[in-house]
Amino acid sequence: MEKLEKTLEEWRAMLDPEQYNVCRLKGTERPFSGKYNDTKIDGVYHCICCKEPLFDSQTKFDSGCGWPSFYAPLEGSAVVEVRDVSHGMIRTEVVCAKCDAHLGHVFPDGPPPTGLRYCINSVCLDLVPRE
């Protein structure tokens, strides 16, 4: 996959302030505030920054954590996992493989078949409904 690279100024011009804060500055949206937290629409979730497909709605589940949760990303290299030691914690950050946008974190407390919970900020996603 070819990387999409832009300067922070280019990202700031392209994204709204909340998208920029979360995707480029590794912020987070408030729990239970995101537009996709309770969404049940069948489709594919794409990166808001580069439009790369990341997660299928068929892997979405209600974790109760306040953010959209998925038990697996799309097949292939849609996302990359990075060790995150910020805020006095050791976590695994999830970033878009194409543009390095911060998406959220992955935790080992999800349902079968993976046992993983990809906890992703709604503001980082664009849901494209299945036709």
Strand order in the sheet with 60-61: 60-61, 69-70, 117-120, 102-107, 91-96, 79-84
SS3 116: coil
Residue 124 is labelled as binding a ligand: no
Residue 49 is labelled as binding a ligand: no
Residues serving a catalytic function are 119
**Radius of gyration, CA atoms only, the chain:** 14
Residue 96 is labelled as binding a ligand: yes
Q: Which residue numbers belong to the known binding site for Zn(2+)?
A: 47, 50, 96, 99
Q: Which residue numbers belong to the known binding site?
A: 47, 50, 96, 99
